[in-house]
Structure 1
Amino acid sequence: MTHRDLRDPRTRRVPTDRLTVQLSEIRDDGEPVVFVHGNVSSAAFWDRTLRRLPDRYRPLAPDLRGFGGTEPLPIDATRGLRDHADDLAALLRALGIERAHLVGWSMGGGVVLQYLRDRPAAVRSATLVNPVSPYGFGGTHGVEGTLNSADGVGSGGATANPEFVTRLAQGDRGADSPLSPRSVMVSCYVKPPWRPEPGDEEAYVDSMLTTRTGDDHYPGDSTTSETWPGVAPGTRGVLNSLSPLHFHLDDLHLIAPKPPVLWIRGEDDVIVSDTSLFDLAHLGAIGAVPGWDGTPAQPMVAQTRDVLNRYAAEGGWVREVAVPDAGHAVHLERPEEFTAALLEVLEVGSA
């Protein structure tokens, strides 16, 4: 007989006043720590992390709308990441949780930033794991997130690779193309040659394939532009919710109270980077997108640092941890270092 590990996450569906959320959890008591996953993934990417928390904490990992087992309501991109942040608030209300530690990876880091911006008193601590810039993804330059063009050109739904979207929608589990979900995960989510254990890898591919595709989800709709690279954001779906037209947090330093913030990242991240391989401006500069007009790459890491430096200058507790030889999923690649840094900020936030 196979016995279930009592620390394996269990899942349940939680009705809220906004939507029904699928939730992974381990125990029913302790200080709540909420883990928010990134784009093209689900709560499954947190399973191993949930098991590592001491018993004094209650780890919770919801699936965001359009991912995993949560009700796939459409995403109103004109609200930036507020659909996801408001869904998270509705979940915590349904669970009777007034204050929680928040941990967000990649796009989930942006969700945590939005939640922190809108509800600072409800946050014990905020941990940002290779987070999207506070000025969105694509379409800006400079540390203050200045738009490259008023229409947000270079960001939004059309910046996704069409073949990757097609393979995602078809449920491709193979590795015959560099644009299959599996290939993208092992080459971009983590830094090669590191690779998840076989069972974990299959679970992560399964997780990626729960992503709903289309105009209301991933990647979203788009418009054209006369400015290079010729594509601008629409109003629906995931990548448009990350456009700087819709997600732009330039006043985080003004919130009160100011919960402690941990920013932890892999130094060799190719997704969220000052030279991101997913930023059309950087791809143009290296000749991968034709017609480059000199538009500079978005300095994603420098933008996050500038926002958090201002937060610290106004009295906030901030710690930056850059992990060498690690990529976009530092919590998977370097679990010991990640957990040690996380437990530190949880302790500060619990004081």
Structure 2
Amino acid sequence: MTLIDGITSRSVQTPRLRANVLERAGDPAHGGPDVVFIHGNVSSALFWQDAMLSMPEHWRVFAVDLRGFGDSETLPVDPTRGLRDFSDDVAGVIAELGLGRVHVVGWSMGAGVAMQYALDHPVRSLTLQSPVSPYGFGGTAADGSRLTDDDAGCGGGGVNPDFVARLESGDTSSESDASPRSVYASSYVLPGFVSDHEDIWVESMLTTTVGIDNYPGDGVASDNWPGFAAGSRGVLNTMAPKYLNLSAIVDLEPKPPLTWIHGANDVIVSDTSFFDINYLGEIGVIPGWPGSEVAPRQPMVTQTRTVFESYAAAGGTFQELVLENCGHSPHLEYPEAFRDALVATVEAAGGE
């Protein structure tokens, strides 16, 4: 595990699991806020290091490796609980560290974990970067309603097996479009973006535990196009709409300040996502698409905006920051803008 100077790592044993936690220690004399970062899918806490180091010095900053990622213990992921296995794990770490109410920052799937955590535990603020739609990943209409009873086209059955094999083998090359490094360069960031720490980000991706109970999980046969549906084991099925619906955040009380940060050119979480099976059918990548009346693409960003606007209408505070020429990782691509938005969110919550 490659740590950048200023970041430390420790193992935290909770009643649920042994979790790895990165820390950028603040100055306790200043009584600063406690901020917890939650990484996304096929990544780990390593991705947060630069962002953690950029935070105000008096903050205490932590990043948790989710189960089956980074240096945390590998345990099965039960998707029938949605993202609760992950959020309950984070809750156990926060309790073990004695942090109480924290400011939570989540990225992609980790933003869904952050929302689930906020539904179950009071938080001081929520900063959500490139979040999974509150209605899950794939298989829903604009209003969040499910397209099929089995969530056809969703879950663990839709992943490129070459990518999974290269993750499992620890491939650090860019010899194939399915290599983790190539996927990072084409999808995690806007193509052409250069990072001095790219090797660390690829190392982070390669910490992903591959298997039916972890990434990607299973799929089942379906009579609906494209012939498979969400299974009941592993990571990707946690975001199938039959298991995940976070729209109850609209009714959360009290409502913490909420900031949504995302890139205008994100190809993962998008209204035209290249990871949405129905959109791939629409553009001819996957044959036999039955048309938009049967299998419309999921308007992920529009769904998120609608839910967050409802959050504001119900009395919450909601800010949206859209970054042009930015992909799925604003904290890497536009670190100053990300930092400023997060600091403003924490300060809006009183900075405690």
Alignment partners' CA distance in 2, 1:87 and 1:266: 28
1:251-270 to structure 2, matched below 5 A, reads 251-270=248-267
Alignment partners' CA distance in 2, 1:303 and 1:108: 17
Alignment partners' CA distance in 1, 2:320 and 2:66: 26
The equivalent of 1:209 in structure 2 is 206
Alignment partners' CA distance in 2, 1:195 and 1:214: 31
Deviations 1:301-347 (A, max 9, x none): 00101111111011000000000110000110000111111110010
Alignment partners' CA distance in 2, 1:17 and 1:162: 34
Q: Match for 1:180: what amino acid?
A: S
- Counterpart selection for 2:86 from 84, 96, 99: 84
Q: Match for 1:159: what amino acid?
A: G
Structure 1 residue 56 displacement after superposition: 2.3
Alignment partners' CA distance in 2, 1:251 and 1:22: 30
Q: Match for 1:15: what amino acid?
A: Q
- Counterpart selection for 2:287 from 287, 290, 301: 290
Q: Match for 2:176: what amino acid?
A: S
The equivalent of 2:334 in structure 1 is 334
Q: Match for 1:8: what amino acid?
A: G
The equivalent of 1:22 in structure 2 is 20
Deviates more, 1:232-241 or 1:20-29: 20-29
Alignment partners' CA distance in 1, 2:201 and 2:25: 23
The equivalent of 2:344 in structure 1 is 344
What is the count of residue pairs matched by the alignment?
342
SS at the partner of 1:258?
Answer: coil
Q: Match for 2:107: what amino acid?
A: W
SS at the partner of 1:147?
Answer: coil
Alignment partners' CA distance in 2, 1:306 and 1:117: 18
The equivalent of 1:70 in structure 2 is 72
Deviations 1:112-144 (A, max 9, x none): 11111122x2x00000000100111111121x2
The equivalent of 1:156 in structure 2 is 155
Deviations 1:157-190 (A, max 9, x none): 0111111111111111110101100000011000
1:37-48 to structure 2, matched below 5 A, reads 37-48=39-50
1:129-168 to structure 2, matched below 5 A, reads 129-142=129-142, 144-168=143-167
Pair 1:127 & 2:127 matched: yes
Structure 1 residue 221 displacement after superposition: 1.0
Deviations 1:64-87 (A, max 9, x none): 001000011110010000000000
Alignment partners' CA distance in 1, 2:115 and 2:151: 21
Percent identity at matched positions?
50
Alignment partners' CA distance in 2, 1:93 and 1:250: 26
Deviations 1:186-207 (A, max 9, x none): 110000111212xx11111111
Q: Match for 2:141: what amino acid?
A: H
1:181-192 to structure 2, matched below 5 A, reads 181-192=180-191
Q: Match for 1:22: what amino acid?
A: N
Alignment partners' CA distance in 2, 1:190 and 1:57: 27
Structure 1 residue 148 displacement after superposition: 1.1
Alignment partners' CA distance in 2, 1:84 and 1:350: 27
- Counterpart selection for 1:97 from 86, 99, 102: 99
Unaligned 5+ runs, structure 1: none
Scaled by the length of structure 2, the TM-score of the pair is 0.95
- Counterpart selection for 1:220 from 213, 217, 221: 217
Structure 1 residue 256 displacement after superposition: 0.6
Q: Match for 1:41: what amino acid?
A: S
Pair 1:169 & 2:171 matched: no
SS at the partner of 1:140?
Answer: coil
The equivalent of 2:232 in structure 1 is 235
Structure 1 residue 249 displacement after superposition: 1.7
Structure 1 residue 8 displacement after superposition: 1.7
Unaligned 5+ runs, structure 2: none
Q: Match for 2:301: what amino acid?
A: V
Alignment partners' CA distance in 1, 2:201 and 2:248: 35
Q: Match for 1:204: what amino acid?
A: W
Scaled by the length of structure 1, the TM-score of the pair is 0.96
Q: Match for 2:224: what amino acid?
A: T
Q: Match for 1:51: what amino acid?
A: L
SS at the partner of 2:342?
Answer: helix
- Counterpart selection for 1:13 from 11, 14, 17: 11
Alignment partners' CA distance in 1, 2:195 and 2:221: 39
Structure 1 residue 97 displacement after superposition: 1.2
Deviates more, 1:241-250 or 1:271-280: 241-250
Pair 1:272 & 2:262 matched: no
Alignment partners' CA distance in 2, 1:245 and 1:152: 7
Alignment partners' CA distance in 2, 1:285 and 1:149: 17
Alignment partners' CA distance in 2, 1:262 and 1:250: 16
